[in-house]
Amino acid sequence: MDRSAAVRCDVIDILIKIVSVVFLMLFAFAIGFGLWRLIEIPLRKWRGSAFDYVYVDDDGNARELNAAEEEFVTTAIFPNNDADRYIKSRYESLTTDGRMGGYLRRRQLPQQIPVAPATQ
């Protein structure tokens, strides 16, 4: 009896430690995400645009989106994975026809690529 009680206590101690570590990791992630948002939003406003996407031309240049393009990116519904033709997952991604052009999340844009103003 004594031995099984000791094993039970050890198992309970290990479970408490595991739950504590998981809780601390989730708490650290939440704090980190909150701090990132505190930095990212003013940084985007400082860059001149709070919109999440830019347009990458076929030659690799990036520019801000005009109002019609912002509406298209935020409201378009793409059937059958057609979004892959328009919204790139990485700067280097090519469309199915081998072109570089498409919409890209601003954070995926390499820092050395300047963002030109939107075209009318």
Do residue 19 and residue 42 come from a single domain? yes
CA distance 76 to 28: 35
Side-chain half-sphere exposure of 44, counting CA atoms within 13 A: 16
Residues 68 and 18 in one domain: no
**Of the residues 13, 32, 47, the one at which a domain ends:** 47
Which residues does residue 53 pair with via DSSP β-bridges, in sequence order? 105
- Of 66, 99, 72, 74, the C-alpha closest to 85 is 99
* Residues 104 and 59 occupy one common structural domain: yes
pTM for this one?
A: 0.56
Asked if residue 58 and residue 39 are part of one domain, the reply reads no
Q: For the segment 25-84, what is each residue's pLDDT rounded down to a tens digit? A: 999 999 988 887 777 766 665 555 667 888 999 898 999 888 888 888 877 666 665 555
CA angle 58/62/63 to nearest 5° reads 120
- Mark whether 41 and 96 lie in a shared domain: no
Model pLDDT, residue 1: 55
Report the share of the chain in percent with pLDDT over 70. 82
Residue 39's domain spans which residues?
1-47
59, 112: one domain: yes
Q: Do 52 and 40 form a contact (C-beta atoms < 8 A)? A: no
* Closest listed residue to residue 47, CA positions, set 110, 119, 106, 108: 106
Contacts of 5 (CB under 8 A, 6+ apart): none
Please give the structure tokens belonging to residue 118: 């939107």
Pairing mode, strands 115-116 and 102-105: unpaired
How many domains, the chain? 2
Give yes or no: residues 76 and 93 share one domain.
yes
Q: Are residues 39 and 5 in the same domain?
A: yes
pLDDT of residue 109: 87
